[in-house]
A = this chain, B = another copy of it.
Amino acid sequence: MSSIVVVGSLAFDSIETPFGKAGKVLGGSANYFSLAASYFAPVRCISVVGEDYPREQLDLFRQRQIDTSGIKLEKGNTFHWEGRYGYDLNTAHTLATRLNVFENFAPEVPESYRDSEFVFLGNILPALQGQVLSQIRHPKFVAIDTMNFWIEGQKQALIEVIKRCNCLIINEAEVRQLTESYNIVQAAKVVRSWGPKILVVKRGEYGAILFDGDEMFGMPGLPLAEVKDPTGAGDTFAGGFMGYLASLGTKFASSRYQLRKALVYGCTMASFTVQDFGFKELIGLNREKIDQRYHRFVDLTTFHLD
């Protein structure tokens, strides 16, 4: 089993959906990613929090084999995001972004993290993603996420970091924007021309699709009778995806079925997150419960049998 370094945000989220409202719940890409990945492999987290961030959440991380030595505690308030969703839960509308302690964040990778083989560069300023990557000695598999904000303001810097990664994990609307290609097969070619062999496109309730060279693999989302809040689903997905790959340890070979199963584990983990506000549903899972849910995806898509 290999360990995974993740850099991303630890935050408070205030969320409104047609199905309810959450005042100020814990969130941020590093929270969702780390919790999801921790069911598969040891996680080493790099982030920053303010004085208002609850200590118990860091204790929870430590209980779940998530290393917190790369999480800085700074004076001031924790990053705070406010957002709203309509019935179309695939698109978030940002109401307010308070960077707070994130404004002057300069990620430092602790010495004890630097031998990690798997790296997930969560959605932050591209230059910082690059700084983290530079501090890892011999990364074996690096995945990166981003968002429209950086595509609009930091496109060249972003592409420079993407070039150094094996895999881009990104929302469908954002890969179209980034590659200036509406067609997703064409978009995958553009990404490949930059460097990453693998592109994973997140499609919300429509699941995800993977491009690996000329290979394609698609998985619909699991239809659920109740979906309350999609916040964090994408980072949870990445956690399941990277977690499964890291769990393969020395058997990891970036092979066809390894990547495909990793994608299904990503969808599996994300299907828990959307069932409630925050990451409540990611607490108290175990590999058995996860594999039961995974088998619902097997069942959802099996047809070529007689």
Extra A-B contacts (7), CB below 8 Å, given A261-B303, A302-B304? A183-B225, A184-B223, A185-B223, A216-B223, A218-B221, A219-B220, A257-B305
Residues in B with CB closer than 8 Å to A305 are 257
| Contact among B203, B264, B301, B302 with A206 in the assembled complex (CB-CB below 8 Å) | B203
Residues in B with CB closer than 8 Å to A192 are none
| Contact among B219, B221, B306 with A301 in the assembled complex (CB-CB below 8 Å) | B219
Q: How far is the CA of A303 from the CA of B300 in the complex (A)?
A: 12
Contact A217 B182 (CB under 8 A): no
Residues in B with CB closer than 8 Å to A218 are 207, 220-221, 223, 300-301
Q: Which residue of B lies closest to A18 (CB)?
A: B182
In the assembled complex, the CB of A267 is this many whole angstroms from the nearest CB of chain B, namely 11
Q: How far is the CA of A218 from the CA of B149 in the complex (A)?
A: 33
Q: Which of A18, A263, A305 has the most CB of B within 10 A?
A: A305
In the assembled complex, the CB of A199 is this many whole angstroms from the nearest CB of chain B, namely 11
Chain A positions near chain B (C-beta within 8 angstroms) = 18, 87, 182-186, 203, 206-207, 209, 216-221, 223-227, 257, 260-261, 263-264, 298, 300-306
Contact B183 A300 (CB under 8 A): no
Residues in B with CB closer than 8 Å to A217 are 300-301, 303
Contact B298 A304 (CB under 8 A): yes
Q: Which residue of B lies closest to A188 (CB)?
A: B223
Q: How far is the CA of A18 from the CA of B183 in the complex (A)?
A: 12
Q: Could you list some 30 contacts between A and B, CB below 8 A?
A: A87-B182, A183-B224, A183-B225, A183-B227, A184-B223, A185-B225, A186-B225, A203-B206, A206-B206, A207-B218, A207-B220, A216-B223, A216-B300, A217-B300, A217-B301, A217-B303, A218-B223, A218-B301, A219-B220, A219-B303, A220-B220, A257-B303, A257-B305, A257-B306, A260-B302, A261-B303, A263-B303, A264-B303, A298-B304, A301-B301
Residues in B with CB closer than 8 Å to A303 are 217, 219, 257, 260-261, 263-264
In the assembled complex, the CB of A97 is this many whole angstroms from the nearest CB of chain B, namely 27
In the assembled complex, the CB of A291 is this many whole angstroms from the nearest CB of chain B, namely 12
